[in-house]
Amino acid sequence: MKTIAIGADDAAIDLKNLIKRHLEEKQYEVLDYSNDAQNDRPMYPDVAFSLANAIKDGKHDRGILLCGTGIGVAIVANKVPGVRAAQCHDTFSAERARKSNNAQVMTMGARVIGPELAKNIVNAWLASEFEGGGSTAKVDKIGFYEQACSAK
């Protein structure tokens, strides 16, 4: 069984719970990096940073982050060295995020897409694998620039 990390801020808790159930129905183990407690509203930078570090440390192969737009969590996750997060609001971008960019983290916006589309996007992303080929040099170049920036 594959384990998928998931996390959301308070703007995306309902969509996160729907996606979590969807993944569990597909026999995935889901580890939740958000906190649903009404009195402890999770902030997307904390959730995204925690999940992205778990990806970097090899605890999960893939993670899904949700906030109002999907933008904030993508920005934070991409701050973690070695993590490639892609904002996806359609099935084509979800496929390309994996096939061309080897993104381990997908982000979505609960205020941007509806529940059925979100499930289809997750399905497309999970069904896709990195194709390598001409994209390998590009993904390697991303790592090169990441290293160059962290060496400064």
User: Comparing C-alpha atoms, which of 82, 75, 88, 74 is closest to residue 58?
Assistant: 82
Tell me, yes or no, if 67 is annotated catalytic: yes
List the catalytic residue out of 4, 8, 12, 67: 67
Q: Are 69 and 12 in contact (CB under 8 A)?
A: no
Residue ranges of alpha helices (H) inside the chain are: 13-25, 44-56, 71-77, 91-99, 115-127, 134-151
Q: Are 66 and 8 in contact (CB under 8 A)?
A: yes
User: Comparing C-alpha atoms, which of 41, 34, 29, 39 is closest to residue 17?
Assistant: 34
C-alpha distances in Å from residue 115, one per residue of 39, 45, 104, 110: 25, 23, 21, 8
Task: Give me the active site residues, please.
Answer: 67
